[in-house]
Structure 1
Amino acid sequence: MRNTTAPPDPATPLQSPPAPAPAPEHRPRRLATPAGTALAATLLALFLLLSAVLAIGLGSAVIPPLETLRHLWAALTGGVISADEVTRHQVVWEIRTPRVLLAAVVGAGLGAVGVAVQAMVRNPLADPYILGVSSGASVGAVLVGVVGGLAALGVYAVSVGAFLGALAATLLVYAIAHDRRGVTPLRLVLTGVALSFGFQAIMSVIVYLAPGNEATGTVLYWTMGGFGGATWGTLPPAAATILIGVLLLRRMSRPLDVMALGDEAAAGLGVDAPRLRRRLFLLTAVMTGAMVAVSGAIGFVGLVVPHIVRILVGADHRRVLTVAPLAGAVLMVWVDLVARVVAAPRELPLGVITALVGVPVFITLMRRRGYLFGGR
């Protein structure tokens, strides 16, 4: 049988198949530029202000936004409030405003510290509590609540005990993880996880031996988180610590980019990775201790927010550390609002809300953007 298929004409150029469309994860991000990052930060800052006003007005007693702004303006400028508005003014200024501001401050700190810890240990699953700081803070708070130490500090005794417990846990983790080669990311993570289990066992023993149920509520608060104890007295120390910490972390953004390449590559580029890791370890520990001391341990915020921000603005740490604090602040303000109103007059622990939101978001990110979690 003759082959009737005509041979290709040598004068006709062969057409190559069309190039495949780039994968979605490799398409350029519109916000991954200085201008795009500035736009994202500006929009988040405006949304944070709007969210704060709404959160201050909403609750078991709803106060309209314009009236909320009027009370805030009167408090800031020393304006006159009529006698029948004193109670609402106190609700706005004395109860809800410090709580909402503390939620924004803690959310900003969790977002920034999450970015720094993930870079420090080179682990996308790291969060601010992976090094055992929160468990140590919980032990300190429970000990003060049960034993009654630091009584001279009054209402701040438990918070100070939590902060001291966080610092003690930090020193213990560093001492165990350090050897003649310094502190490696893997040793830090393993030591922090192991000591977290140890601290949790200590808390269980304290709860078991404590008379009555006086320690149970303290343990639940410090392990699930909440802003019920927010006052104008607790806000300034936490805000100052976290603000200074965020600014220092942002100044370290370029060394963080280099350290992400590995210690050897960083050394070739003039960055002392072990020294930088020690500075980051101390700074993030102080910031985490300050946050846990005023809010307890709030999970998933420091884990999920950095990944979402990297998807939006790229992996450059200067851009990430610009947007992540604002994103964390917005998220925490709304989480606290939901915790206050969904089961009013009772409050849900913040850890419940962040887990219900964070778990599906994290799974979705892992399935759709798998390369961000260590590659496919």
Structure 2
Amino acid sequence: MTQRLYIQPLTFVSGPQAVEGDALRLGGSMVWASHFAVIVRDGDRVTQRLIATPRTMPATLERLGGDLAAEGATQWADLGKVHTPLQCGQRTIRLDQPQVMGVLNVTPDSFSDGGQFMDDPAAMQAQAAAMHEAGAAIIDIGGESTRPGAAAVWEGDELKRVVPAIEYCTRMGAAVSIDTRRPAVMQAALDAGAHILNDVSALRHDPRSMGFAASSGRPVILMHAPGPSNEAAQDLHANGDYANVVFDVFDWLRERRDAALAAGVARTNIVLDPGVGFGKTLADNLALMNALPLFHALGQPLLLGASRKRMIGALSNEAGAHQRLGGSLALALRGMDAGYHLLRVHDVFETVQARNVWRGMRDAALTDFAGLPG
């Protein structure tokens, strides 16, 4: 089928009562949408764009007929799918509100912390404890920088960096994800107590990774990055040439989701990340941020990792990485408004506080109409 279909949420409401029930809850989140664009793409060209609400969606899809109608029905069901919580040892990560994932880099060349947590165990432990106490649902530990131009890391060095950090975090009761592309590091991380595999190459870097992820039975995060990812081609930021960045990323993530399913990864264990900042221009990143709700149509929990990204500096007089808190919070709030389930951030305390205030407003919005005559 050369034609492809996308269902994009357009307008959002405080709750279903605001539009007499004609709204859809996105991905089991606290976000409700009332109007949707049904978009048909033939090659690189959009050929149809129809507007529908939940009540008119069945008839709208029926008008398309054939494979497009069937694909539309699948995406429509996936948009409203309520996701199973992530099980991380004794911890259960519910996905009915935004959860904060704290970043802990134990590398010498991270763009955000400059290696301060790699050679100082006390600093690493203090940072991990602070994030955990501030309300991070998950701590994401990485031993290899994936910023543009970063040098490849020897597997042995990566292991020496991440294993002590994982062991410390799990001892204090944190849920832990391991940010790595290598199955040997994945195995050592799980042995040390990690619960989630976070692969920025979407299990493409090593041909053994997909099989390992399936056999592990653990949740896995698949992130979009345009560059070829194998041991001979390291640059995840290369080849960022898109006909339409939003639809191209959607199609790419759908292919990786389906590849994981075919390899035996349980559907409830797949989390998708559109890869903001990886092989994308400022215009590409802004387009993705404005289209975040579309990715619920893939039927998986969604992660947004936009904290301290280069796009913030580009929009704020080249502010350095440690001067990007305001921009990071703005992007995190955009993710919350889009119904994203996981927010990967450096500034945990501030993001959790923003999330809590956001949730208070969402809770109040759902009861605003309780006293009105029906």
Task: Give your verdict on TM over 0.5.
Answer: no
Between structure 1 and structure 2, the one with the greater Rg is 1
Flag the structure with more relative contact order, 1 or 2, with Cα contacts below 8 A and sequence separation at least 6. Answer: 1
Which of the two has greater helix per residue?
1
Bin for the TM-score computed over the shorter chain: under 0.3
Which of the two has greater strand per residue?
2
**TM-score, scaled to structure 2:** 0.27
**TM-score, scaled to structure 1:** 0.27
